[in-house]
Every structure is written in structure tokens, then in C-alpha cells.
């Protein structure tokens, strides 16, 4: 299926059509529509565990890729290996360009992200955003674990979107409407593996130096880049998906975000 087929009107129709279907039904449609031109991107968070399980039920094997920034905690690699063994798959790993990392570290230091938002965004750009561009080469669609209730910046997410940051390919967010509680109920009921750090108070896990356990009652992503004085907890991977939602940030703060286990 060509990307040109996805006009805003057609996309609206698709979102209406899939509004009441299950995430598996959406994935089945995507596998049929895009064939080997669609892949699942997983960072091995709780949503990734659900999606890997769903994708394993598809008739044909779907490509799965991940971005290894070089700063991930060992627990993330452990759960990645467990997933490969459980599903009998080989996960494609995209790493940052070593010359880019070298130049960044030489200019700003190995832990530049603590120096300011600009430096942190540079690090995310080198270690995450650029590898993602390479991972998406040749794809017509990709699948993410984004959910609306993860953050104020994600409240406008649709199940099917055009990814303006990446050649206008299709971006599918099958769990867009799920709550954190639904995700964990699925993991528990299907006895899925998950990152061991979740049992130590981490609710959202990224790179080791940029993630810490979440304070009780804190926002889901408050353990990410905790030293930054902002609710904007994004690394740039989903830039336009989550852009222009500053009003949502205000409303989110007033509501208290996605707190507690629910
Ligand atoms: S999360 Fe931290 S270490 Fe990882 S890419 Fe972003 S700034 Fe760099």
C-alpha cells in the first residue's frame, strides 16, 4: 500500500473503523496492508511486552527493532533476550553512529544531558532520533506503544497517524486508548516477561543515567530526566506526534496526570 493513499480524510475513516476493534485486529490489518514494510519498534517497556505478545500471534512474522542508545540499563538487555527466547525471534538492534557519539562526547562530555535541556536533546538526537531514521528506512509503517495517558504531550495520539517526521509513513499506536492498568493486567494475565526495574519502582524506563524510580503518586514519566523543570518528557522520537499540545500540558497538570497503579 502506498503512502499516497493516506489522505487525512481516509485516515479519519480508518480511525473510525478501528476505534472499536482490538489492538490485535489493528495489527492483523497492518500486517496485511503493509506486508514486510511494517515493523514493531520496542523499547521493552510494558506496552512493548503487550505488543510483542500480540505480534507473535500474527500469521506471518513481523520485523521487530529496537534502539540501543549505548546507555541502557542491563535489565533492559536482559528482558530483550528473554523476549527473543520466548518468541523465537531475532530483534534488530539499531545503535548510534560511533563518529557522532565521539564528536558529541568530545565537545560536551559523556554525561552532557545533566548540563541543560539543549545538551540532553542533542544526546537523544544522536543516540535515539538518528538511529530511528535509519531503522525506518524502506518501511511504509511502524508500530509503537504510545498511549494517550502516558503524558500530557501524548493526549492527542490517534491509533493511526501519518508520521510527518519520517517521510509521511504510517504510524500505528494500537494501545493509544489503553490505561497503564490495562497494560499491566494483560502482562500479568498472560504471564509475560517484563523489565525487572518495574519491581523496583520504575514505571517508565529509558537510558540508565536518565531514569529513576517514580515517586509514589508521581506522573508516569516523572522518573525520566527528573532534573529538568518541565512536564515535557519527550526525547524527540515522536516529535510531531506530540507537538503543539501546550494547552494539554496545563489541563494535564490540573488533573494530576496518570497517577498510581491505574
Ligand atoms: S535518555 Fe539520556 S542517555 Fe539516553 S539518549 Fe537521551 S539524554 Fe542520552
For the chain, the structural domain boundaries read: 3-255
Strand 160-163 relative to strand 169-172, pairing: antiparallel
CB 126 within 8 A of CB 166: no
How far is the first Cα of the chain from the last one, in angstroms, to the nearest whole number?
A: 38
- Distance between Cα 53 and ligand 1 center (Å): 27
Indicate if ligand 1 lies below 6 Å from the C-beta of 127.
yes
Closest CA to 55 of 41, 37, 68, 75: 41
Nine-digit cell at 181?
492498568
pLDDT tens profile 161-210: 999 999 999 999 999 999 999 999 999 999 999 999 999 999 999 999 99
Run of H or E residues at 58:
none
> Which pLDDT band, with edges at 50, 70 and 90, does 223 fall under?
confident
What are the two backbone dihedrals, phi and then psi, of residue 208, each rounded to the nearest 5 degrees? -55, -50
Nine-digit cell at 28?
492483523
Indicate if ligand 1 lies below 6 Å from the C-beta of 171.
no
Q: Which of 68, 95, 122, 128 to mutate to test the pocket of ligand 1 (most atoms within 8 A of CB)?
A: 128
Closest CA to 50 of 143, 186, 217, 142: 186
* Averaged pLDDT, 114-138: 96
Nearest CA to ligand 1 atom 5: 124
Nearest CA to ligand 1 atom 1: 207
Closest CA to 55 of 70, 40, 43: 40
Indicate if ligand 1 lies below 6 Å from the C-beta of 123.
yes
Please identify, by atom number, the ligand 1 atom nearest to the C-alpha of residue 235: 6
Question: Against a cut of 0.85, is the pTM above it?
Answer: yes
CATH 3.40.50.620 fits 3-255, yes or no: yes
Per-residue pLDDT for 217 more than 90?
no
Top-confidence residue, 151 or 130: 130
Q: Which residues lie across from 64 on neighbouring strands?
A: 40
Cβ neighbours around 101 below 10 Å, total: 17
CB 145 within 8 A of CB 64: no
Mean confidence (pLDDT) of the chain: 88
- Distance between Cα 225 and ligand 1 center (Å): 9
Amino acid at each position: 500500500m502506498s503512502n499516497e493513499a493516506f489522505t487525512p480524510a481516509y485516515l479519519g475513516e480508518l480511525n473510525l473503523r478501528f476505534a472499536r476493534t482490538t489492538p490485535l485486529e489493528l495489527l492483523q490489518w497492518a500486517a496485511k496492508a503493509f506486508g514486510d514494510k511494517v515493523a514493531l519498534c520496542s523499547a521493552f517497556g510494558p506496552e512493548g511486552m503487550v505488543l510483542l505478545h500480540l505480534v507473535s500471534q500474527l500469521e506471518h512474522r513481523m520485523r521487530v527493532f529496537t534502539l540501543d542508545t549505548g546507555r541502557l540499563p542491563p535489565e533492559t538487555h536482559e528482558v530483550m533476550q528473554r523476549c527473543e527466547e520466548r518468541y523465537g525471534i531475532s530483534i534488530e538492534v539499531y545503535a548510534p553512529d560511533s563518529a557522532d557519539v565521539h564528536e558529541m562526547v568530545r565537545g560536551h562530555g559523556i554525561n552532557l544531558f545533566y548540563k541543560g535541556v539543549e545538551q540532553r536533546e542533542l544526546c537523544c538526537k544522536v543516540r535515539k532520533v538518528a538511529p530511528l531514521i535509519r531503522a525506518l528506512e524502506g518501511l511504509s509503517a511502524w508500530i509503537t506503544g504510545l498511549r494517550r495517558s502516558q503524558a500530557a504531550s501524548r493526549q492527542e495520539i490517534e491509533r493511526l497517524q501519518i508520521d510527518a517526521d519520517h517521510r509521511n509513513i504510517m504510524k500505528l499506536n494500537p494501545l493509544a486508548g489503553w490505561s497503564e492498568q490495562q497494560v499491566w493486567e494483560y502482562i500479568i494475565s498472560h504471564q509475560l516477561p517484563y523489565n525487572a526495574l518495574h519491581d523496583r519502582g520504575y514505571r517508565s524506563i529509558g537510558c540508565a543515567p536518565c531514569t529513576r524510580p517514580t515517586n509514589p503518586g508521581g506522573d508516569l514519566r516523572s522518573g525520566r530526566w527528573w532534573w529538568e523543570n518541565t512536564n515535557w518528557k519527550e526525547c524527540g522520537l515522536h516529535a510531531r506526534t506530540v507537538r503543539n499540545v501546550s494547552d494539554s500540558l496545563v489541563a494535564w497538570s490540573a488533573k494530576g496526570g496518570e497517577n498510581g497503579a491505574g
